[in-house]
Structure 1
Amino acid sequence: MLGNFSYKNATKLYFGDDSLKYLNEELPKYGKNVMLIYGGGSIKKNGIYDEVVSILETNGKTIIEDAGVMPNPTVEKLREGVSKAKENKVDFLLAVGGGSCCDYAKAVSVSINCDEDPWEKYYIRFEEPTCEIVPVGCVLTMAGTGSEMNAGSVITNHETHQKIGHVFGEEVMPKFSILNPKYTMSLPKRQMVAGIYDIFNHICEQYFSGDDDNTSDYIAEALMKSVIHSSLIAIENPEDYEARSNIMWSATWALNTLISRGKSTDWMVHMLGQSAGGYTDATHGMTLSAVSLPYYRFIMPYGLAKFKRFAEEVWNVCAEGKTDKQVAEEGLVAMENWMRKIGVAMSLSELGATEDMIDGITEGTFILEGGYKVLTKDEVKQIIRESM
C-alpha cells in the first residue's frame, strides 16, 4: 500500500434481528427532546414506528416528529426540519428509514445551531460545521447508501437542478446505528435492487483507481462477490434472511471509508448520476446504474490492468488465449448481464431524462481527479449521451 493515512470510525453498530432493543442502551446518553425523522409512513404500516416510539416513551423522551423525508431530500425540507428542531430545542436526532433519512438527519444536525442557510454554507461553499452539532442515531430500514456509518449527506435543490453531497468530518457520523435485516424485507423489489446497485457501485468507485498492490482492493473484491451472490438469491426470494443480512452488512462496509484507505478513489459515476438525479429526481441507485457502463467502457483503456483483474477476480473470466483488453471487456459484459438480471435501469431515458437535458446534466457534473482519467466537459457530454 502506498501513502500515509489515518482511520477511525466513530459509529457503533448493533446488527441482527434483535438489535432494536439496544436503543434502550443508547437513549439515556442523550437529552430529553428527540426528533424522530422518517419518510412517507411505511414504518407505520410495518410496525417499526410503534416499536421505536414505545422505546422512546419508556426512556422518558419527548418526541418531536419530522415525517415526510423524501427519497432525495430537498433543500426546502432541510430548512423546514432545521426550523422545527430549533423551535423545539432538539437534543438528539433519530432517523428511522433508509439512507435519505440518515443523510437528512446529518444535514439537520450541523444546521440547528447555525444561523446561516445550510444549502449555501454546506452545499455551495462546502464549509465545515462551525456550530455545536446535535448528535444523530439511525435505525436502518433500507440497505444501500452506507449513510449509517459515514459522514456523507446528499441534498437536492430542484430549483437549480442540483443534487450535491457533502462529506463531513467524523464528528457528524451517527453515534450509533441499528441494523435489523428483517426491516428491509418490506421494501418494494425496485427499491431493494436500487440499493444493491448503490452498494456495488460504492465499491467500484473505490476500486477503479490506483495501480499498487493494495489490501483495500482485495477487500473490495470480496465485498463485490458477496453482493453479487446475495443479490441473485434476494431477487428470487426477498425474504431470505441470510442474503438480506449479507447485503445489509456489505452496504455498511462498502462506504464506511475502510476500503478507501491507502489509495485514490474515483467517484465520477456518482458525479454523473447525481447530476442526472438533479434533473430527473430518479432513485439514486438507478441513476448510477444508468451511467456506469458507458463511463467504465470509456475509462477502461486508461486502467486496463485493473479492469482485467476485475474480470478475473470478480467475474471469473478466463484469460487464457485472450488479450488484456478482451478479458477486461468480458468482465464488463458479465457485469452488464448481472445488472440486467437483477433489473436495474440501463439508461437515463428509462428514468425520464430527455435529450434537451444533456447540456444541463453535463454542466452540473463535478469533475474529480481520483480515477484513471480526468474527464473534460466534452467527454462528460459524450458519456451522458451514451447513457441515454
Structure 2
Amino acid sequence: MLGDFSYCTPTKLYFGEHALEHLPEELKKYGDNVILAYGGGSIKRNGIYDDVMKVLKDTGKTVTEISGIMPNPTVEKLKEGIQIAREAKADFILAVGGGSVIDYSKALSVSVHYDGDPWEKYYLKFEEPECETLPVGTVLTMVGTGSEMNSGAVITNPDQKLKIGHVFQDEKIMPRFSILNPRYTMTLPHYQMVSGSYDIFNHICEQYFSGEDDNTSDYIAEGLMRSVVHSSRIANQDPQNYEARSNLMWSATWALNTLTGKGKTTDWMVHMLGQAVGAVTNATHGMTLAAVSIPYYKHIMPYGLKKFVRFAKTVWNVDPEGKSDREIAEAGLSAMQQWMQELGLVMNITDLGADESMIPDLVKGTIVLNGGYKVLDEKEIAEIFKESL
C-alpha cells in the first residue's frame, strides 16, 4: 500500500432484528429536544414510526418532526428544516429512513447554528463548519448510500440544476449511532431495492478503479463486490430472504465508510455524472449511476486496463484462456452489464427523463475529479452522456 492515511469510525452500529432495543440507551446520552426527520410517510404505514415514537416518549424526549424529506433533498427543504430546528432549540437529530433522510440530517446538523447560506458555504465553497453542530443518530430503512456510517451529505439545488455531495472532514458529523435492522428494508418497492443494490456496488467500484499498487483495500473491495452480486441475485428473486437482505445491508455500510478507499486515490466520476443527471431529472440516485456506468467504464478502461482485467477475473470469474487483456476486460464489463440487466436496473438516461437537449446542462453540472485513471474534459463528458442516452 502506498501513502499515509488515518482512519476513524466513531459510529456505533447495532445490527439485527433486535437492534432497536438499543435506541433508549443511546438517546439518554443526548438532550431532551429531538428532531425526528423522515420521508414521505412509509415509516407510518409499516409501523417503524410508532416503534420509534414509543422509545422517544418513554425516554422523555420532546419531539419535533421534519417530514416529507424527498429522495433528492433540496436547498429549500434544508432551509425549512433549519427554521424548525432553531425554533425547537434542537439538541439532537434522529434520522429514520434511507440515505436521503440521513444526508439531509447531516446537512441540517452543520447548518442550524450557521448564520450564513449553507449552500454557498458547504456545497459551492466546500468549507467545513466552524459553528456548533448537532449530533445525529439513524434508524436505517433503505440500504445503498452508506450514509449511516459516513460524513457525506448530498443536497440538490433545482434552480441551479446542481446536485452536490460534501464529505465533511470532521468525524463528529458522522452519525453517533445507527440502528440496522434488515427487516426494516423488506417493505421497499423492488425498484428501490435494486437501485440501492447498485448504489452499493458502484460505491465500491468508485474506490476500486484507481491506483496501480498492490493494495489491501482492493482485496477487501473485491470480496464486497462478490457478496453484493451474490446477495442481490437472491434478493431479486426472493425479496423476503433475510440472509440476502442482511448481507446487502452490511455490505452497504462497509462500501462507503471509507475503508475500501484507504491508501489510494479514488475515482467518483460515475457519481459526478449520475448526480448531474439527478439534478435535471430528479431520478432515483442508484438508477442514475446505473445509466451512466457502462459508457463511462468503457471509456476509461484503456487507461486502467490492468485493473479492469483483474476485475473481470476476480469478480466475474472471466476465463482468460485465449483472450487478450482487452478482451478479458471487455468480458468483465459485459458480465457486469448482464447482471445489471438481470436486476432490472435502468440502463440509459433517456428512461430517466433526460434527452439530448439536456446534455449541455449535464456537462455543466458535472464536477470533474482527478483521482481515477482518466481526467475527463468537457468533450469526453458530453460523449459519455450521448452514449448513455
Global fold match (TM > 0.5): yes
Superposition misfits of 4+ residues, deviation over 2 angstroms: none
How far, CA to CA, are the matches of 1:105 and 1:363 in structure 2?
28
Matches for 1:20-99 after TM superposition, within 5 Å: 20-99=20-99
Matches for 1:1-388 after TM superposition, within 5 Å: 1-169=1-169, 170-388=171-389
How far, CA to CA, are the matches of 1:25 and 1:238 in structure 2?
32
| SS of match in other structure, 2:34 | strand
| AA at the equivalent of 2:34 | V
How far, CA to CA, are the matches of 1:123 and 1:376 in structure 2?
22
For residue 326 of structure 1, report the CA deviation from its aligned partner: 0.4
For residue 320 of structure 1, report the CA deviation from its aligned partner: 1.1
How far, CA to CA, are the matches of 1:90 and 1:372 in structure 2?
44
For residue 166 of structure 1, report the CA deviation from its aligned partner: 0.4
Could you report, residue by residue, the CA deviation over 1:8-52 in whole angstroms, capped at 9, with x for unpaired residues?
Answer: 111000000000010011001000000000000000000000000
How far, CA to CA, are the matches of 2:367 and 2:157 in structure 1?
15
How far, CA to CA, are the matches of 1:364 and 1:73 in structure 2?
17
For residue 354 of structure 1, report the CA deviation from its aligned partner: 1.1
Could you report, residue by residue, the CA deviation over 1:163-197 in whole angstroms, capped at 9, with x for unpaired residues?
Answer: 00000121200000000000000000000010000
How far, CA to CA, are the matches of 2:82 and 2:130 in structure 1?
16
For residue 121 of structure 1, report the CA deviation from its aligned partner: 1.1
Q: TM-score, normalised by structure 1?
A: 1.00
Percentage of pairs with the same residue: 66
How far, CA to CA, are the matches of 1:375 and 1:236 in structure 2?
38
| SS of match in other structure, 1:55 | helix
| SS of match in other structure, 1:110 | helix
How far, CA to CA, are the matches of 1:138 and 1:128 in structure 2?
22
How far, CA to CA, are the matches of 1:77 and 1:18 in structure 2?
33
| SS of match in other structure, 1:94 | strand
| AA at the equivalent of 2:163 | K
For residue 206 of structure 1, report the CA deviation from its aligned partner: 0.2
For residue 124 of structure 1, report the CA deviation from its aligned partner: 1.1
How far, CA to CA, are the matches of 1:116 and 1:193 in structure 2?
38
| SS of match in other structure, 2:178 | strand
How far, CA to CA, are the matches of 2:133 and 2:76 in structure 1?
20
How many residues were matched structurally? Answer: 388
| AA at the equivalent of 2:60 | G
Unaligned segments of structure 1, at least 5 residues: none
For residue 118 of structure 1, report the CA deviation from its aligned partner: 1.1
Could you report, residue by residue, the CA deviation over 1:349-373 in whole angstroms, capped at 9, with x for unpaired residues?
Answer: 0100011100110111011000000
| SS of match in other structure, 1:252 | helix
| AA at the equivalent of 2:244 | A
Alignment RMSD (CA, Å): 0.5
How far, CA to CA, are the matches of 1:345 and 1:289 in structure 2?
6
| SS of match in other structure, 2:153 | strand
| AA at the equivalent of 2:293 | S
| AA at the equivalent of 1:268 | M
| AA at the equivalent of 1:177 | S
For residue 120 of structure 1, report the CA deviation from its aligned partner: 1.2
How far, CA to CA, are the matches of 1:212 and 1:127 in structure 2?
31
How far, CA to CA, are the matches of 1:123 and 1:39 in structure 2?
22
For residue 321 of structure 1, report the CA deviation from its aligned partner: 1.2
